Amino acid sequence: MKDIVASSNAFRASARKAGFGPWLNLLIGIVLILTFIFGIGSLAQFLPGARHMAEVIDERNLRATAIFYTDFDEPAEGSARIGDSIDYMPGLKE
C-alpha cells in the first residue's frame, strides 16, 4: 500500500513540475504547422509550371487530390488505350 501512495505522490509531483512545458510545445508545434501551410506552402505558386498546372486544373474542373477519376472521359480513354496496347502489341504473332 505504501508503494501505491508513494508512486501516486511521485506522479502528482511530476505533473506539477511539468507545468506549461507540454502546452508550450503543443502551441509551438501548431504555429510551425500553420506557418508551413500558409507561409512556405503559398510560395509553391512561384515554382516553374505551377501556374500552368493550376490553369489546367481549373480549366478541366479536376479534383487535384483525387486518386481515381471515374467520371471523366480522359481516364477511360487512357485505360482503354493501355489495354489495347497490351492486348495487340505490334510484332507479336499468335
Residue 67 confidence (pLDDT)? 67
Residue 70 confidence (pLDDT)? 63
Residue 11 confidence (pLDDT)? 60
What does pTM read for this prediction? 0.40
Residue 17 confidence (pLDDT)? 62
- Dump the DSSP string for the chain: -HHHHHHHHHHHHHHHHHTTHHHHHHHHHHHHHHHIIIIIGGGGGGSTTHHHHHHHHHHTT--TT-S---SSHHHHHHHHHHHHHHHT-TT---
Residue 20 confidence (pLDDT)? 79
Residue 33 confidence (pLDDT)? 95
Residue 54 confidence (pLDDT)? 85
Q: Decide if 72 contacts 66 (C-beta within 8 A).
A: no
Residue 27 confidence (pLDDT)? 96
pLDDT, mean of each 10-residue run, the chain (94 residues): 60 64 93 91 82 86 73 76 84 62
Residue 89 confidence (pLDDT)? 79
